[in-house]
Structure 1
Amino acid sequence: MTTESERELRNFCQLLSQAARLVQRRQDDVLGPLGLTRAAVIALEGLAPGALNQEQLASSVHAKSQTMGKILARLQLAGLVSRSRHPQDRRQLIIGLTGAGREALKAAQEAEAHALPPEVDVRGWQTLQDELARFVKSLQNREMNGRSA
Protein backbone atom coordinates (compact mmCIF):
# COMPACT_ATOMS: atom_id res chain seq x y z
CA MET A 1 0.00 0.00 0.00
CA THR A 2 1.24 3.48 -0.87
CA THR A 3 1.51 5.93 1.98
CA GLU A 4 0.56 9.58 1.72
CA SER A 5 4.23 10.63 1.91
CA GLU A 6 5.12 8.25 -0.94
CA ARG A 7 2.32 9.77 -3.08
CA GLU A 8 3.55 13.26 -2.23
CA LEU A 9 7.11 12.34 -3.18
CA ARG A 10 5.92 10.83 -6.48
CA ASN A 11 3.86 13.98 -7.21
CA PHE A 12 6.87 16.14 -6.33
CA CYS A 13 9.10 14.13 -8.69
CA GLN A 14 6.56 14.45 -11.51
CA LEU A 15 6.32 18.21 -10.97
CA LEU A 16 10.11 18.51 -10.78
CA SER A 17 10.48 16.55 -14.01
CA GLN A 18 7.91 18.74 -15.76
CA ALA A 19 9.61 21.91 -14.52
CA ALA A 20 13.00 20.62 -15.68
CA ARG A 21 11.65 19.88 -19.18
CA LEU A 22 10.06 23.33 -19.44
CA VAL A 23 13.21 25.11 -18.25
CA GLN A 24 15.31 23.03 -20.64
CA ARG A 25 13.04 23.95 -23.56
CA ARG A 26 13.40 27.63 -22.71
CA GLN A 27 17.17 27.24 -22.46
CA ASP A 28 17.27 25.41 -25.79
CA ASP A 29 15.26 28.25 -27.35
CA VAL A 30 17.74 30.90 -26.21
CA LEU A 31 20.88 28.81 -26.81
CA GLY A 32 19.92 27.63 -30.30
CA PRO A 33 20.66 30.97 -31.99
CA LEU A 34 24.12 30.88 -30.36
CA GLY A 35 24.78 27.46 -31.90
CA LEU A 36 24.89 25.83 -28.46
CA THR A 37 23.01 23.18 -26.55
CA ARG A 38 22.53 22.99 -22.80
CA ALA A 39 24.93 20.03 -22.70
CA ALA A 40 27.58 22.11 -24.47
CA VAL A 41 27.12 24.95 -21.99
CA ILE A 42 27.46 22.52 -19.09
CA ALA A 43 30.77 21.32 -20.57
CA LEU A 44 31.97 24.90 -21.07
CA GLU A 45 31.00 25.77 -17.49
CA GLY A 46 32.91 22.73 -16.25
CA LEU A 47 36.03 23.98 -18.01
CA ALA A 48 35.68 27.62 -16.91
CA PRO A 49 37.79 27.19 -13.74
CA GLY A 50 40.60 25.52 -15.69
CA ALA A 51 41.64 22.77 -18.07
CA LEU A 52 40.75 19.16 -17.27
CA ASN A 53 40.98 15.79 -18.93
CA GLN A 54 37.80 14.23 -20.31
CA GLU A 55 37.26 11.91 -17.33
CA GLN A 56 37.67 14.74 -14.82
CA LEU A 57 35.26 16.96 -16.74
CA ALA A 58 32.67 14.20 -17.10
CA SER A 59 32.89 13.44 -13.40
CA SER A 60 32.64 17.09 -12.38
CA VAL A 61 29.41 17.62 -14.36
CA HIS A 62 27.96 14.16 -13.60
CA ALA A 63 28.04 12.94 -17.20
CA LYS A 64 29.33 9.82 -18.88
CA SER A 65 32.76 10.11 -20.43
CA GLN A 66 31.54 8.81 -23.81
CA THR A 67 28.79 11.42 -23.91
CA MET A 68 31.26 14.12 -22.94
CA GLY A 69 33.58 12.99 -25.72
CA LYS A 70 30.90 13.62 -28.34
CA ILE A 71 30.10 17.05 -26.90
CA LEU A 72 33.78 17.98 -26.76
CA ALA A 73 34.33 16.90 -30.36
CA ARG A 74 31.59 19.31 -31.50
CA LEU A 75 32.95 22.09 -29.29
CA GLN A 76 36.45 21.57 -30.68
CA LEU A 77 35.16 21.71 -34.27
CA ALA A 78 33.46 25.00 -33.38
CA GLY A 79 36.75 26.33 -31.97
CA LEU A 80 35.36 26.67 -28.44
CA VAL A 81 37.70 24.18 -26.74
CA SER A 82 41.21 22.99 -27.39
CA ARG A 83 42.68 19.56 -26.74
CA SER A 84 46.37 19.06 -26.10
CA ARG A 85 48.50 16.21 -24.81
CA HIS A 86 49.22 16.17 -21.09
CA PRO A 87 52.90 17.07 -20.61
CA GLN A 88 53.54 14.24 -18.11
CA ASP A 89 51.17 11.60 -19.54
CA ARG A 90 51.03 11.70 -23.33
CA ARG A 91 48.09 9.26 -23.31
CA GLN A 92 45.83 11.91 -21.81
CA LEU A 93 44.31 14.89 -23.52
CA ILE A 94 43.83 18.10 -21.60
CA ILE A 95 40.80 20.13 -22.63
CA GLY A 96 40.62 23.87 -22.12
CA LEU A 97 38.44 26.76 -23.17
CA THR A 98 39.60 28.92 -26.05
CA GLY A 99 38.98 32.66 -26.10
CA ALA A 100 35.98 31.99 -28.34
CA GLY A 101 34.79 29.39 -25.82
CA ARG A 102 34.91 31.92 -22.97
CA GLU A 103 32.96 34.40 -25.10
CA ALA A 104 30.40 31.74 -26.04
CA LEU A 105 29.99 30.76 -22.39
CA LYS A 106 29.43 34.37 -21.37
CA ALA A 107 26.84 34.84 -24.14
CA ALA A 108 25.11 31.59 -23.15
CA GLN A 109 24.95 32.57 -19.48
CA GLU A 110 23.48 35.94 -20.38
CA ALA A 111 20.91 34.29 -22.67
CA GLU A 112 19.96 31.74 -20.03
CA ALA A 113 19.54 34.47 -17.44
CA HIS A 114 16.74 35.82 -19.62
CA ALA A 115 15.19 32.44 -20.41
CA LEU A 116 12.59 32.62 -17.67
CA PRO A 117 9.53 34.78 -18.14
CA PRO A 118 9.73 38.21 -16.48
CA GLU A 119 6.72 37.49 -14.28
CA VAL A 120 8.62 34.80 -12.37
CA ASP A 121 9.28 36.14 -8.88
CA VAL A 122 12.67 34.87 -7.75
CA ARG A 123 12.37 36.11 -4.16
CA GLY A 124 12.26 33.24 -1.74
CA TRP A 125 13.82 30.81 -4.19
CA GLN A 126 16.78 30.20 -1.90
CA THR A 127 14.73 27.73 0.14
CA LEU A 128 13.68 25.82 -2.97
CA GLN A 129 17.25 25.84 -4.24
CA ASP A 130 18.56 24.56 -0.90
CA GLU A 131 15.98 21.76 -0.78
CA LEU A 132 16.62 20.76 -4.39
CA ALA A 133 20.35 20.68 -3.72
CA ARG A 134 19.73 18.33 -0.78
CA PHE A 135 17.47 16.16 -2.95
CA VAL A 136 20.05 15.95 -5.75
CA LYS A 137 22.83 15.13 -3.28
CA SER A 138 20.67 12.36 -1.82
CA LEU A 139 20.12 10.88 -5.28
CA GLN A 140 23.84 11.12 -6.07
CA ASN A 141 24.73 9.41 -2.79
CA ARG A 142 22.34 6.56 -3.59
CA GLU A 143 23.94 6.16 -7.04
CA MET A 144 27.43 6.13 -5.54
CA ASN A 145 26.35 3.44 -3.11
CA GLY A 146 25.14 1.25 -5.98
CA ARG A 147 21.41 1.81 -5.54
CA SER A 148 19.49 3.60 -8.26
CA ALA A 149 16.83 6.06 -7.15
Structure 2
Amino acid sequence: MTSNLDPDARTSYRLISVAARLVQRRQDDALAHLGLTRAAVIALEGLAGGPLNQEQLAETIRVQSQTLGRVLLRLEGAGYITRTRQSTDRRQFKVELTESGEAILEAARREETNAYPDDPNIGWKVLSEELAKFVNALPASRSQEVLPFAPPEHRTSRRPHGARGTGLRGMDQSGH
Protein backbone atom coordinates (compact mmCIF):
# COMPACT_ATOMS: atom_id res chain seq x y z
CA MET A 1 0.00 0.00 0.00
CA THR A 2 1.46 3.35 -0.96
CA SER A 3 0.94 6.47 1.05
CA ASN A 4 -0.02 9.89 -0.24
CA LEU A 5 1.31 11.35 2.99
CA ASP A 6 3.18 14.61 2.66
CA PRO A 7 6.91 13.98 3.20
CA ASP A 8 6.89 16.61 5.93
CA ALA A 9 4.21 14.72 7.86
CA ARG A 10 6.67 12.49 9.72
CA THR A 11 8.64 15.52 10.88
CA SER A 12 5.38 17.23 11.86
CA TYR A 13 4.25 14.18 13.88
CA ARG A 14 7.51 14.20 15.77
CA LEU A 15 7.30 17.94 16.39
CA ILE A 16 3.76 17.58 17.73
CA SER A 17 4.92 14.82 20.07
CA VAL A 18 7.91 16.82 21.29
CA ALA A 19 5.80 19.96 21.71
CA ALA A 20 3.19 18.04 23.72
CA ARG A 21 5.82 16.62 26.06
CA LEU A 22 7.43 20.03 26.55
CA VAL A 23 4.11 21.76 27.22
CA GLN A 24 3.08 19.03 29.67
CA ARG A 25 6.39 19.27 31.49
CA ARG A 26 6.12 23.07 31.71
CA GLN A 27 2.55 22.80 32.99
CA ASP A 28 3.50 20.17 35.56
CA ASP A 29 6.37 22.38 36.76
CA ALA A 30 4.12 25.45 36.89
CA LEU A 31 1.43 23.61 38.87
CA ALA A 32 3.74 21.77 41.27
CA HIS A 33 3.96 24.56 43.85
CA LEU A 34 0.15 24.58 43.99
CA GLY A 35 0.17 20.84 44.75
CA LEU A 36 -1.79 20.13 41.57
CA THR A 37 -1.33 18.08 38.43
CA ARG A 38 -2.75 18.68 34.97
CA ALA A 39 -5.26 15.92 35.67
CA ALA A 40 -6.51 17.68 38.79
CA VAL A 41 -6.84 20.96 36.90
CA ILE A 42 -8.77 19.23 34.12
CA ALA A 43 -11.19 17.83 36.72
CA LEU A 44 -11.57 21.25 38.35
CA GLU A 45 -12.16 22.83 34.93
CA GLY A 46 -14.91 20.29 34.30
CA LEU A 47 -16.71 21.50 37.41
CA ALA A 48 -16.31 25.22 36.66
CA GLY A 49 -19.75 25.36 35.00
CA GLY A 50 -21.53 23.89 38.00
CA PRO A 51 -22.00 20.64 39.90
CA LEU A 52 -22.09 17.29 38.12
CA ASN A 53 -22.22 13.71 39.23
CA GLN A 54 -19.01 11.71 38.80
CA GLU A 55 -20.20 9.97 35.63
CA GLN A 56 -21.17 13.28 34.01
CA LEU A 57 -17.84 14.82 34.99
CA ALA A 58 -15.93 11.83 33.59
CA GLU A 59 -17.85 12.16 30.33
CA THR A 60 -17.31 15.93 30.21
CA ILE A 61 -13.53 15.66 30.58
CA ARG A 62 -13.36 12.37 28.65
CA VAL A 63 -11.78 10.04 31.17
CA GLN A 64 -12.75 6.79 32.84
CA SER A 65 -14.90 7.28 35.94
CA GLN A 66 -12.69 4.93 38.00
CA THR A 67 -9.56 6.95 37.19
CA LEU A 68 -11.39 10.17 37.98
CA GLY A 69 -12.45 8.78 41.36
CA ARG A 70 -8.87 8.72 42.63
CA VAL A 71 -8.32 12.32 41.56
CA LEU A 72 -11.59 13.41 43.17
CA LEU A 73 -10.63 11.78 46.47
CA ARG A 74 -7.47 13.85 46.57
CA LEU A 75 -9.25 17.06 45.53
CA GLU A 76 -11.87 16.44 48.20
CA GLY A 77 -9.16 15.80 50.81
CA ALA A 78 -7.56 19.12 49.89
CA GLY A 79 -10.92 20.89 50.30
CA TYR A 80 -11.24 21.88 46.63
CA ILE A 81 -14.44 19.93 45.95
CA THR A 82 -17.32 18.42 47.86
CA ARG A 83 -19.04 15.18 47.04
CA THR A 84 -22.59 14.79 48.29
CA ARG A 85 -24.56 11.58 47.96
CA GLN A 86 -27.61 12.06 45.71
CA SER A 87 -30.96 11.51 47.40
CA THR A 88 -32.50 10.10 44.21
CA ASP A 89 -29.70 7.57 43.64
CA ARG A 90 -27.56 6.79 46.68
CA ARG A 91 -24.84 5.34 44.43
CA GLN A 92 -24.24 8.74 42.78
CA PHE A 93 -22.39 11.72 44.22
CA LYS A 94 -22.94 15.35 43.28
CA VAL A 95 -19.47 16.84 42.83
CA GLU A 96 -18.93 20.59 43.03
CA LEU A 97 -16.20 23.14 43.53
CA THR A 98 -15.74 24.79 46.90
CA GLU A 99 -14.62 28.40 47.25
CA SER A 100 -11.10 27.04 47.78
CA GLY A 101 -11.51 25.00 44.61
CA GLU A 102 -12.53 28.05 42.61
CA ALA A 103 -9.54 29.98 43.97
CA ILE A 104 -7.04 27.20 43.24
CA LEU A 105 -8.50 26.78 39.74
CA GLU A 106 -7.95 30.49 39.04
CA ALA A 107 -4.38 30.21 40.37
CA ALA A 108 -3.81 27.11 38.20
CA ARG A 109 -5.12 28.92 35.12
CA ARG A 110 -2.68 31.78 35.72
CA GLU A 111 0.23 29.38 36.25
CA GLU A 112 -0.60 27.40 33.10
CA THR A 113 -0.85 30.60 31.07
CA ASN A 114 2.49 31.79 32.43
CA ALA A 115 4.04 28.46 31.40
CA TYR A 116 3.41 29.10 27.71
CA PRO A 117 6.11 30.79 25.66
CA ASP A 118 5.63 34.52 25.33
CA ASP A 119 6.84 34.80 21.76
CA PRO A 120 5.07 37.31 19.51
CA ASN A 121 6.27 35.37 16.46
CA ILE A 122 4.06 32.39 17.32
CA GLY A 123 0.75 32.56 15.48
CA TRP A 124 -1.37 30.99 18.24
CA LYS A 125 -4.62 31.23 16.30
CA VAL A 126 -3.08 29.58 13.23
CA LEU A 127 -1.40 26.94 15.39
CA SER A 128 -4.69 26.20 17.15
CA GLU A 129 -6.55 25.93 13.84
CA GLU A 130 -3.92 23.62 12.34
CA LEU A 131 -3.81 21.41 15.42
CA ALA A 132 -7.62 21.18 15.41
CA LYS A 133 -7.46 20.02 11.77
CA PHE A 134 -4.84 17.45 12.73
CA VAL A 135 -6.90 16.11 15.65
CA ASN A 136 -10.01 15.92 13.46
CA ALA A 137 -8.08 14.06 10.75
CA LEU A 138 -7.15 11.22 13.11
CA PRO A 139 -8.66 7.83 12.24
CA ALA A 140 -12.15 7.22 13.60
CA SER A 141 -10.83 4.49 15.91
CA ARG A 142 -9.12 7.20 17.95
CA SER A 143 -10.88 9.83 20.02
CA GLN A 144 -11.23 12.93 17.88
CA GLU A 145 -12.48 15.13 20.68
CA VAL A 146 -9.56 15.07 23.11
CA LEU A 147 -8.56 18.66 23.70
CA PRO A 148 -7.78 18.56 27.42
CA PHE A 149 -6.86 22.22 27.81
CA ALA A 150 -9.77 23.62 25.86
CA PRO A 151 -12.69 24.71 28.02
CA PRO A 152 -15.02 21.74 28.49
CA GLU A 153 -18.23 21.80 26.47
CA HIS A 154 -20.10 21.68 29.74
CA ARG A 155 -23.52 20.09 29.31
CA THR A 156 -23.87 21.24 25.73
CA SER A 157 -22.23 18.48 23.75
CA ARG A 158 -22.66 14.77 24.32
CA ARG A 159 -20.60 11.95 22.95
CA PRO A 160 -22.45 9.11 21.23
CA HIS A 161 -23.96 6.59 23.64
CA GLY A 162 -21.39 3.98 24.59
CA ALA A 163 -18.36 6.11 23.70
CA ARG A 164 -15.56 5.64 26.20
CA GLY A 165 -13.23 8.14 27.83
CA THR A 166 -9.61 8.31 26.85
CA GLY A 167 -8.20 7.57 30.30
CA LEU A 168 -5.81 10.53 30.36
CA ARG A 169 -2.39 9.08 30.83
CA GLY A 170 -0.83 10.31 34.05
CA MET A 171 -4.24 11.17 35.53
CA ASP A 172 -3.24 10.01 38.98
CA GLN A 173 0.41 11.08 39.06
CA SER A 174 1.82 13.08 41.96
CA GLY A 175 -1.13 12.21 44.13
CA HIS A 176 -3.66 14.64 42.60
Q: Same fold (TM over 0.5)?
A: yes
1:37 CA drift (Å): 0.5
1:64 CA drift (Å): 1.4
1:53 CA drift (Å): 1.3
Q: Which has the higher helix share?
A: 1
Give the structure 1 partner of residue 17 of structure 2. Answer: 17
Report whether the alignment pairs 1:38 with 2:4.
no
Report whether the alignment pairs 1:50 with 2:50.
yes
Instruction: Determine which structure has greater relative contact order: mean sequence separation of CA pairs < 8 Å that are 6+ residues apart, divided by chain length.
Output: 2
Report whether the alignment pairs 1:100 with 2:84.
no
Give the structure 1 partner of residue 169 of structure 2. Answer: none
Q: Per the alignment, do residues 122 and 108 of structure 1 end up closer, same or farther by CA in structure 2, a change over 3 Å counting?
A: farther
1:124 CA drift (Å): 2.6
Q: How many pairs does the alignment contain?
A: 145
Letter in 2 for 1:11: T
- Separation of aligned partners in 2, 1:12 and 1:55: 36
Give the share of equivalent positions with the same residue, in percent. Answer: 50
The answer for unaligned runs of 5 or more in structure 1 is none
Q: TM-score, normalised by structure 2?
A: 0.73
- Separation of aligned partners in 2, 1:76 and 1:48: 15
Give the structure 2 partner of residue 8 of structure 1. Answer: 8
Report whether the alignment pairs 1:59 with 2:78.
no
Q: Per the alignment, do residues 3 and 54 of structure 1 end up closer, same or farther by CA in structure 2, a change over 3 Å counting?
A: same
- Separation of aligned partners in 2, 1:56 and 1:76: 17
3-state SS of the aligned residue for 2:68?
Answer: helix
The answer for unaligned runs of 5 or more in structure 2 is 144-159, 164-176
- Separation of aligned partners in 2, 1:31 and 1:45: 14
